Amino acid sequence: MNQVFRQLTPDDNHAYLELMLAAYAPIKALGIHFDAATADLARVTRHLAEHNVYALLVDGKMVSSVTLRYPWGPLPGPFGLPHIGWFGAHPDYNGHGYGKKIQDWVEQEILVKQLKSPAVSLGTATSHPWLKDMYVKRGFQPMMEKDLGKGHITLFMKKILDPVAHEKWLAKQNLS
């Protein structure tokens, strides 16, 4: 089995759209509106051009991906930190841990090693039956809830990646 982690480009739009629609179909069936669940080719192409998106490919098949949004980008997260946007794993490969693998890889290789980020945030629907618990198990802590007008309440969560850098970052936030 050949596993490759890499950043996607707009040329990956067809495979990425297929992954997002498959990954988000069960969430869409719950009546939760996440933007990735209703994406089309134009939106996915724009998404790939505006954000850094990383994927895990197994034997050439895209099985999971994570989008990183940045404070200086078009859709910053709420805390002035890198923010995980569209995150999905293909349901045909449940039980292989591909979602965790791409998340761990992005956290270590991109956020910690390249960006030296003190922490990362993400948002999920409070009404989703298991995502909050999964993220808590992966080290995220609930921070705040907000109604973004999408038909559900969004729970924003944060994971500290470097405790020392995080303390310094917090101290700078209080000076602003």
* 162-172 tens-digit pLDDT: 999 999 999 98
Q: How does pLDDT run across 99-156, given as a tens digit for each residue?
A: 999 999 999 999 999 999 999 999 998 887 888 899 999 999 999 999 887 877 899 9
Q: Strands across the sheet with 141-147, in order?
A: 3-7, 52-58, 61-69, 83-89, 119-125, 153-160, 141-147
DSSP-derived letter for residue 153 is E
Average pLDDT (62-85) is: 96
**pLDDT, greater one: 90 or 29:** 90
* Predicted local distance difference test score (pLDDT) of residue 149: 78
pLDDT band, very low/low/confident/very high, at 175 (cuts 50, 70, 90): low
The dihedral over CA atoms of 7, 169, 159, 124, expressed in degrees to the nearest 10, equals: -80
Query: Which residues make Cβ contacts (< 8 Å) with residue 14, sequence separation at least 6?
Result: 41
From the options 3.40.630.30, 3.30.479.10, 3.30.420.40, 3.40.50.620, give the CATH code of 3-175. Answer: 3.40.630.30
Q: pLDDT grade, residue 176 (50/70/90)?
A: very low
For residue 79, the SS3 value is coil
Vertex 159: Cα angle to 43 and 96 (nearest 5):
65
Indicate whether 52 pLDDT > 60: yes
| Average confidence score pLDDT of the chain | 92
Q: What percent of the chain has pLDDT over 70?
A: 99
User: For 49-53, 76-80, 124-128, which range has the lowest pLDDT when averaged over its residues?
Assistant: 124-128
Give the integer Cα–Cα distance in Å for 161 and 68.
Answer: 15
- Residue 8 in this model has a pLDDT that exceeds 70: yes
Alpha-carbon distances of 56 from 9, 10, 15, 36, 61, rounded to whole Å: 14, 16, 12, 18, 8
Residue pLDDT, tens place only, 9-35? 999 999 999 999 999 888 877 777 778
Q: What is the pTM (predicted TM-score) of this model?
A: 0.93
- Extents of the domains making up the chain: 3-175
